[in-house]
Amino acid sequence: MILHHPLALIALTCAALSATILIGFLVRRPLLVGSTKLWLLLGLGVFPLGVATAGNAAGFEATKERKFCGSCHVMVPHASDSNDLKSTSLASRHARNNLFGEQNCYVCHADYGMFGTILTKLGGMRHVYEYVTRYRNVSLEAAKETIHLYKPYPNSNCMQCHSTNLELWMNVPDHKSSLAEVREGRVSCASAGCHGFAHPFTKPAASVSPASHRSPERAPHETRETP
């Protein structure tokens, strides 16, 4: 439940007011005079618009939560790993950081830029489509083996926080020697040779046979880099 969110409370209040008016109209069946029209304008227009506006905003906020991502069974291992205080995976370590916290899935996987939020939400719609059409009945073990990102995880997402410009970062010899590759995305921060994969069951691209898991509808640019 997201009832602690002020927008959700506004939406619920508007919904209650609207429902009261509409049920009152259905029960009493008054004549269509001026006052009835005014009440119906509130019940069918103003309050439902309030519900939609506040409800959408609260819904968008809810979609950023780790609980939301973990509500599909194939994402349970990812969410559980982030919740695990003893895990040393990149995802879990970032989840313990207050800047990421309960929204660590979204913060790390969101697209950035002017249309980043919209692109991320569209990507989320595709996740739902893939889940409903392909993964709904897949076992957890099978999902761990087959689930993957649509495209390689971009270093630019890491660089939202780790700018690669600070002296502390540059003092690490490996960073210094691979600066250009990291900035251009030719070397992934979340790879076995660097900081390790983000999740414990992430597989390197080369370790999975594309023929065995690639589905016909997958686009050619999609790789086996997993979440």
Residues at the interface with another protein (CB under 8 A): 1-3, 8, 11-12, 15, 18-19, 22-23, 25-26, 29, 32, 37, 40-41, 43-45, 48, 51-52, 55-56, 58-59, 62-63, 65, 68, 71-72, 125, 127-128, 131
Question: In the complex with another protein, which residue's Cβ is closer, 70 or 77?
Answer: 70
Question: In the complex with another protein, which residue's Cβ is closer, 125 or 168?
Answer: 125
Question: In the complex with another protein, which residue's Cβ is closer, 59 or 196?
Answer: 59
Question: In the complex with another protein, which residue's Cβ is closer, 68 or 106?
Answer: 68
Query: For residue 197, which amino acid is it?
Result: F
Question: In the complex with another protein, which residue's Cβ is closer, 80 or 97?
Answer: 80
* Nearest approach, Cβ of residue 117 and another protein (Å): 15
* Nearest approach, Cβ of residue 174 and another protein (Å): 39
Rounded distance between C-alpha atoms, residue 175 and residue 157, angstroms:
17
Asked whether the beta carbons of 5 and 68 are under 8 A apart, the reply is no
* Nearest approach, Cβ of residue 114 and another protein (Å): 22
Rounded distance between C-alpha atoms, residue 106 and residue 150, angstroms:
16
| b/e 168-192 (16+ beta carbons within 10 angstroms → b) | eeeeeeebeebeeebeeeebbbbbe
Count Cβ atoms within 10 A of the Cβ of residue 164 and give its class: 0-12 exposed, 13-18 middle, 19 or more buried: middle
Structure tokens at 121: 């939400």
* Nearest approach, Cβ of residue 69 and another protein (Å): 9
The gap between the terminal CA atoms of the chain, to the nearest Å, is: 26
Three-state SS for 92-128 is HHHHCCCCCHHHHHHHHHCCCCCCHHHHHHHHHHHHH
* Nearest approach, Cβ of residue 181 and another protein (Å): 37
Rounded distance between C-alpha atoms, residue 155 and residue 200, angstroms:
19
Question: In the complex with another protein, which residue's Cβ is closer, 43 or 77?
Answer: 43
* Nearest approach, Cβ of residue 37 and another protein (Å): 6
